[in-house]
């Protein structure tokens, strides 16, 4: 049996890419606030007052993960939950003053980190890189059955 060429295995490359991102994030952005936590803060700066489900959809986190991320941000006093005046069963999320300051500080660092992370690529290559990984990520999120191939969902055969 022949070995799989890991240089053409998307899962292996995605893991390496994630590992590089994690290392750069911790070194350049924050050891306390994770990238998913920052994504939640950033989303609520752009769209204040979203509910937990909508925040999860915006940042690509499943229900249990977004619940844990939000709970941690509330414990750190970066987020508050307020009852929706239109629907008393629903809670809306808003940044605290410290949450706003934290997002602003980390946004500058995250921009610098992205420059370092993408430095091996030209500007055109960066655009293409984002287009391609976004297309794969969007197609993967759209799968109802994980065994269903991506072909037929915008991917060329």
The tens-digit pLDDT sequence of the chain (157 residues) is 889 899 989 999 999 999 999 999 999 999 999 999 999 999 999 999 999 999 999 999 999 999 999 999 999 999 999 998 888 888 999 999 999 999 999 999 999 999 999 999 999 999 999 999 999 988 887 775 555 555 554 544 4
Domain hosting residue 101, numbered range: 20-116
The answer to whether residue 147 is domain-embedded is: no
In a domain, 80, yes or no: yes
| Total domain count, the chain | 1
Domain assignment present for residue 136? The answer is no
The CATH number that applies at residue 73 is 1.10.10.10
Q: Residue 156 has what pLDDT? A: 47
Q: Print burial letters for 92-129: b (CB count within 10 Å at least 16), e (below 16).
A: bbebeeebbebbeebeeebeebeeebeeeeeeeebeee
- How far apart CA 149 and CA 42 sit, in angstroms, is 33
Q: Which of 42, 13, 28 is nearest to 115 (CA)?
A: 28
Domain contains 137: no
**pLDDT for position 87:** 87
Does the residue 12 lie in any domain?
A: no
Asked if 85 and 79 touch (Cβ cutoff 8 Å), the reply is: no
4 found inside a domain = no
Tell me if 93 sits within 8 A of 70, measured CB to CB: yes
Q: How far apart are the first and last CA of the chain?
A: 26
- 127: in domain: no
Q: What is the pLDDT of residue 124?
A: 98
Long-range contacts of 138-141 (CB under 8 A, 24+ apart): 141/60
Q: Does a structural domain hold residue 122?
A: no
């Amino acid at each position: 049996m022949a070995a799989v060429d890991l240089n053409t295995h998307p899962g292996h490359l995605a893991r390496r890419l994630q590992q590089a991102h994690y290392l750069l994030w911790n070194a350049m952005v924050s050891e306390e606030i994770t990238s998913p936590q920052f994504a939640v803060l950033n989303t609520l700066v752009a769209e204040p007052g979203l509910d937990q489900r909508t925040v999860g959809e915006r940042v690509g986190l499943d229900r249990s993960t977004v619940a844990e991320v939000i709970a941690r941000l509330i414990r750190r006093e970066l987020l508050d939950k307020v009852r929706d005046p239109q629907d008393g069963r629903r809670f809306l999320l808003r940044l605290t003053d410290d949450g706003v300051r934290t997002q602003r500080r980390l946004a500058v660092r995250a921009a610098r980190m992205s420059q370092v992370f993408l430095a091996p690529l030209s500007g055109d290559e960066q655009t293409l890189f984002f287009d391609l990984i976004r297309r794969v990520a969007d197609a993967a999120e759209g799968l109802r059955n994980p065994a269903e191939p991506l072909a037929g969902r915008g991917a060329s055969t």
